[in-house]
Structure 1
């Protein structure tokens, strides 16, 4: 049976024995031929820590006006989890994919499922992260996305044998606000941000490579995305918060090689966000590849617009991943 015909069959975590997993959002509206996960993995078997609104419900919206195109987004995520996309011919590499949405949403189609589908064809098994959102109301709102990303990386490695993955060859890619979580994972992977819950938390959370795509990075008011500080802190960022949370302030010798891409005419997140991250990586001698396109705006995702050069970025990412050894 082709994996696309498997509709979110529950998986068992090797860490906790057989247990039902929370399905991906909007499972009743799958379109034939659309990228579909084969299952999910819950991040927190005993519930996510720090919830302030126990009655919070997930809300899914379809924002596309074209019935042939899916452009879904979800908020109110109280059960963070990963949607699983196994490669048909796995090469041992894996990618955690983190959708964007301005800290309000996870746009999981064009910034999640479609990239997973593309990377699957390159032999890379993918995991699309439905992470907790700062604006949904959580303790430590500035950290919840990074905490979920750390936990996700560890669970991928714990379940590596099941998915025919080399646990050393797991990367991360994320878009916009998900790019902030991606860059935060890359620079803060070793920080103890949550109390361990099982043996998975003894594993390394460092990605082999990181790919923030049109990313939110900076907390400098001169170039920051205007929604970052209000979402994470509820007020303008202090000097202490900038030093603690801004990925460009946390690059060190253990930061993984990074792939950056953005459009120069991005009016939502200034392109300076990618530039300050590139400069911080170069200053520490970390491998970085940067692609800045003249046009494309914000949120171009996986658009196959052959008249706009940005459409080549997924292949450029694959080339970078291959050059860094993620594909074996």
Structure 2
């Protein structure tokens, strides 16, 4: 019945509530410094955003009648040098809306920005802040606070897996009204993600942008997220293509093995072809059905929450 209602609303053109954009940090942005740098937005077939100065989240809500209570915070990829903002962001949020799920796109600060003091801290600071903001608006946005997940593509997948494994890490951000809200995501969706910072399988562009060209072994270990999985790491869905020549499929395989070793609910789909950056894969033959697998998995997460 719910699926029929969602389809009816979609066909009638009313599935999307009006979107809104919120600043993450209404006061001073932590870990920032004054610079002459300006944000840039370019249309390269996709909307490419770089040099982010003011991190924001853009909220896309399904109409109340269709809402499942789930929300997904989306981290677009771009090698930690920019954001493929519509390709791996807003169009994903709109697809989630067709499933009755709130989609929230994070425009996070990039570590190579001259306005950032400590490179590797800024994206995670923004990610934690965003998930807390979502939970603080849960009642207003018809969201279940226990069904707030994250989704990351490529380097955005590294940020997502960092949040999923470092949500309890010590923070250097100001105390305010939402600072103590739980930052642990309830589930993770990782799409052709960068996971490791170790040279054998990492994406070197992402590593260099995040950690610098000569990072310490301690930093490499800390941000190699296959090494950081704990028993409270959230349930995870992974999808990757074997022929990905940008981010090796071993990134997903290593993370999946780490999850299974900790008895964490994990589902992985590896396709023989698809390359890198396929997003919804609408022009990729049967690979485009990966979103059907995700839809089934998200419904399972909802059912598991209802049973608890």
TM-score of the superposed pair, with normalisation by structure 1: 0.84
Matching of residue 228 in structure 1 with residue 209 in structure 2: no
Tell me by how many angstroms 1:54 deviates. 3.3
1:289-328 mapped onto 2 (5 Å cutoff): 289-305=267-283, 307=285, 309-325=286-302
1:57 aligns with 2:47: no
Mapped to 2, the partners of 1:130 and 1:172 lie a distance apart of 14
More helix by share: 2
* 1:91 aligned partner: 68
Contact 2:274/2:284, CA 8 A, preserved across alignment:
no
Range 192-201 or range 287-296, more displaced: 192-201
Please state whether the residue corresponding to 2:204 is helix, strand or coil.
coil
Cα-Cα RMSD: 1.8
- Select 1:47's aligned residue among 3, 28, 51: 28
Alignment match of 1:218 (pick from 182, 196, 201)? 196
Distance 2:278 2:299 in 1: 23
C-alpha distance in 1, partners of 2:284/2:155? 26
1:149 corresponds to which residue?
127
CA distance in 2 between counterparts of 1:162 and 1:250 reads 34
Matched residues in 2 for 1:240 and 1:190: separation? 18
Which of the numbers 20, 30, 49 marks the counterpart of 1:74? 49
How far is the alpha carbon of 1:114 from its aligned partner? 1.0
Q: Is the 8 A contact 2:192 2:241 kept in 1?
A: yes
1:53 is displaced (CA, Å) by 4.1
What residue number does 1:10 align with?
none
3-state SS of paired residue (1:118): helix
Question: How far, CA to CA, are the matches of 1:117 and 1:194 in structure 2?
Answer: 34
Distance in 2 (CA, whole Å) between partners of 1:56 and 1:90 is: 40
Distance 1:172 1:223 in 2: 23
2:163 corresponds in structure 1 to 185
Describe the superposition over 1:106-131 as per-residue Cα deviations: whole angstroms up to 9, x where unpaired.
11111011111111011101110000
Q: 2:99 aligns with which of 101, 122, 135?
A: 122
Stretches of structure 1 lacking an aligned partner (at least 5 in a row): 1-32, 65-70
Q: How far apart, in 2, do the equivalents of 1:62 and 1:228 lie? A: 22
Q: Which sections of structure 2, spanning at least 5 residues, go unmatched?
A: 1-13
